[in-house]
Structure 1
Amino acid sequence: MDFDTVAGELYGLPPNAFTAARDRCAAEARRAGDKELARRIAALRRPTLAAWAVNLLARGRPDDIRSLAALGEALREAHRALDGAQLRDLTRQQRTLVDTLARQAAQLAAEAGHRLGDAAQRDTEATLQAALSDPESAQEVAAGRLATALAAPTGFPAGGDRARTATVTTLEAARERRRLREEAPSREREARRRNAEAETAERARDEALREVETLRHRLEQARARAEEATARAAEARARAEEAGQPPEEDPG
């Protein structure tokens, strides 16, 4: 078992089957003694419906994803060259290709038993637009292991100072997406740690309450025995007095 193989298999599953399969793989890795692999597998996040649909597209039609990335590179080159005619032609191709691939992703999802709603369809289109606009996003999409949809950039720049500004904005957005993705496992680990601590504290509280209840019950039993012993002693003194015998001293 290796991480890439496991991750590849998991992200090919429908979202509703992901969590159970991930947990089984993590448990198997732990039983095999590979704690680091188990940790990495357990940190994998269940894909959203849109991310899963794009994963299906990347796995089933990798040539289409490569065409998307190639068109993105052509658009970036046209922006650098400030070639207006080529930009207009490539922009039309961009809209057509993104729309076509988004419909294909929705069809693949429907064939696999999950219809995309309007929101998921928009997220699918945004992810494909991000792959076209950003080379790193294109690599993520091509890998077929998305857990969440990618944010679409504001668009390709028109040229001049606006081109440089928009390019910087796109790069900053890409860096922010990477930062959030890198921090997500840490946030999830912290959340799991806090949940585990809360569960431990709750178990300790319950155990303490059970011990208090046991001690209270024992105290009540001891009090009952003492009251019974006192009653027997009083009864014995009463019988002795009736018989004209001196009462026995209370041993207590």
Structure 2
Amino acid sequence: MEEEKKAVSIFRIALAAGELLIKNGAEMNRTEETILRICASRGFTDIAVFISPTVIMIGDDKKEGTTYIKNIKSRGSNIKKISLVNEFSRNFTQGKVSENDALDILKKIDTEKGYPYWLILTTAGIGCGVFSVLLGGTVNDFIVTFLATFAAVFLNDRITRFSKTVFLGNFVAGFFVGIITILFYHVGFVKNLDMIIVGAVLSLVPGVAFTSGIRDFILGDLISGIARTCEAVLIAVAIAFGIGSVLFAYSLLGGI
């Protein structure tokens, strides 16, 4: 009975650590290794692990073993939290963190605030604005790109938080990038539609998701590789549809 209680405690810690890694963009191989090391550090070496972007399953590889399942409902990209979980894993396996404190530490990592949201929006706008200038844009192009990026990132975050779908948020964000760009182009404030759109869309491009998918393919995690690559393609299609619908409508009206 005591052994069973210990197993439940260790598996809960391993599940929580694995969930945090997947939610914040870690590759499947890193997540699996972390779970196995946490379990092995407390004497559980006969462990079977199945990991995908939407679910984690941990079980005792013995015939009478119990299986524990954790659903992953949301995913993003936060390198800081991945680093904190890795640090926790090292400390836990070295015995520097007790089993009683482990879940509290993981919950604290999960609620880590990070940078202020206004700073994220502002730096995204500045970065994309500078990119449009590097492509040959003007100061006016920088201003419009900044505004379009600010609106796109904000709308995408808000819609994705409530809808739980990557398509809708990116479609609306791309749509508003097109609207804002067309409005300033129509009044003559800017002359370069393409540079502004390319710069603003940079904040929405699923580069991390696509790279993680390819990396999972290389490491042999085929299910995760397919899932993440398809998600990246879906996001790209949503952005293209959002911007393309605005440009198509504007062309029908004789604007382009």
Shared fold per TM-score greater than 0.5:
no
TM-score by length of 1: 0.26
Point out the structure with the larger helix share: 1
Asked which structure has the greater CA Rg, the reply is: 1
